Chains A and B, each alone.
Chain A
Amino acid sequence: MNSSFAISNAITLACIYGTLAIGLSLTWSSLGLVNMAYGFVFALSGYGAWLVAVNISDWSPVVLAAGILTGALGGVLVCAAAFIPIHDKPNFPLRALIATLAISLVGNQMLLWYFGPRAKSLPRLFGNWNADIFGVIITSDKLGASFSAIVLLTVVLLWMRSSRRGLEIRAMMMNPHAASIVGIGVRRTGFYVMALTGGLAGLASVLLAQTYYVAPFSGITPMVKGLSIALVGGLGSVPGAVIGAILLGINEALTSTLLGGQYVLITQFLLIIIVLLIRPRGIAGILDKAREA
């Protein structure tokens, strides 16, 4: 295994896991919900994209859109089942954690029951070519995956900065109580947030399926990685999640070239523990100049 392969691999994975981390982070900070069903939404949207690719069209934009839409639908389902009924009851964070975990287990078993244990592969969305950047050979799927993740994430983040809906979501993230005072409906915003983050999971799912496969339990590892990136970045902070993704991506590349691929998870969690020992609020604790109260 050469180092340029490992580096390009790490960058691609950082982009995809970073997308998941931002999704988890947004959900946590706006709804106060650690979405353990995110891995299920991830796998579900992989199957949605696969169904469309097999039955309707395998043109790449259609497959990508199918994945994102299935993800958004999955997010809305999770919201309806695990947020709406319990969000104003006592002890909500713990209940939501259990509810989303239950959805994840049930959902994954249903995927296994319906689609069977055999992994499905999506069509190659970005063709079959190689790019030579400064002597580093990068395959089309990695370049395409990184590029589309970065472009779509930028679009989403710019939209959140500039639009009324974006302001609504950001206001919910910072102070849900004040948000209701200015006329923002918590339950409706919950659906928007979950659809948005579900769509991000769908995007990540289709992109990751370019290098891996779609399988009933394919969402678990990406969710764990996304969650750890979100934790390193500081839950609730988008720039923190981006920096966390880059940090863990570099760590993954360095570990797999210097030590070997089997040590990646060990060094990754060591890094997370060190960061959280120094900055309990994650990297965002350094970035955040505006403090509460």
Chain B
Amino acid sequence: MSGNAERQTILDVNGLSAGWGPMRVIHDLDLKVFSGERIGLVGLNGHGKSTLFLAIAGLTGWQRGSILLNGHQVGRTRSQGPGRYTHLVVRRGLALIPQGDEIFHGLTVEEHLDSGAFTKRAWAERAPRKKKILRIFPPLEKLMKIPVGRLSGGERRMVAIGRGLMADAELFLVDEPSLGLAPKIGKSVVEALMAVELGSSAMVIAEQNIALLEGRVDRIIGMHAGKLKGEASKGFKSGTA
């Protein structure tokens, strides 16, 4: 899928700064994501991985700089109103799977998956999409009618990721899929993400555990102090670098 000569740019971030109030978390950041790519974004806690994702979705306190999603400008200079334009960005083809899942605790698993396909285009074909999600996460099949508030952490993560994958998106941003889960469950969740057919869309996975990603994503990008630092391609092994 990668290495294609006429690769299409899905996401083009240029000179992005973002943060909350007086705190500036992202500093003049540039990032390009091409279609069909799976990218690992690694870095320590507090170095801006989540903030980068939130800034792309328009959810930070303030931001500045250009964000082109599929050629449409979704970044703008703004100083307030976090989330006001998020639904427009989502309609342009962004699926954010946030840290901490952000579930609707009273909705059932099935309603969650439906809500992931909320954009009009995806809503019409949500039945086959749900089947696809159940193939990725078979344990959800038995839980379809159960409110998500009663599920375990691993099951919730599956629901949150499933909800993101339901969207008719060009760009999937997955924030720390293994965070807070038992190592074995976290690993299986990451493996499920690796198995997702991307087609022409792209996926960026933020993760602290580099061992889960190496050799299985097309590029690994390091993030440090609000800037991107260094990049490695598929053959990369952390032991030999």
Contacts and interface: CB of A to CB of B under 8 A. Distances in A.
Interface of A: 88-89, 164, 167-168, 170-171, 173-175, 177-187, 288-293
A57 to B, nearest CB: 38
A164 B119 CA distance: 10
Given A177-B59, A178-B102, 12 more contacts: A174-B106, A177-B102, A179-B104, A179-B115, A180-B87, A182-B118, A184-B87, A289-B150, A290-B105, A290-B148, A291-B105, A291-B149
Contacts of A182: 90, 115-116, 118, 163, 167
Contact of B107 (A170, A187, A288, A289): A170
B96 interface: yes
- Counting from the closest, the 9 A-B pairs by CB-CB distance are A290-B149, A183-B90, A178-B102, A290-B147, A174-B104, A185-B87, A180-B86, A180-B83, A88-B81
B105 A174 contact: yes
B45 to A, nearest CB: 20
19 contacts: A88-B82, A89-B80, A164-B118, A164-B123, A167-B107, A167-B115, A168-B118, A171-B107, A171-B118, A174-B106, A178-B102, A178-B104, A180-B86, A186-B84, A186-B87, A187-B84, A288-B106, A289-B147, A290-B148
B49 to A, nearest CB: 17
B90 A181 contact: yes
Interface of B: 57, 59, 80-84, 86-88, 90-91, 96, 98, 102-107, 111, 114-116, 118-119, 123, 147-150, 163, 167
A175 B118 contact: no
B114 A167 contact: yes
A83 to B, nearest CB: 13
A186 B116 contact: no
A45 B217 CA distance: 60
A88 B81 CA distance: 6
A174 B96 contact: no
Residue of A89, A175, A289, A292 with most partner-chain B CB within 10 A: A175
A291 B102 CA distance: 14
A78 to B, nearest CB: 20
A171 to B, nearest CB: 5
A175 B86 contact: no
Contacts of B91: 183
Contacts of A292: 105, 149
A169 B51 CA distance: 27
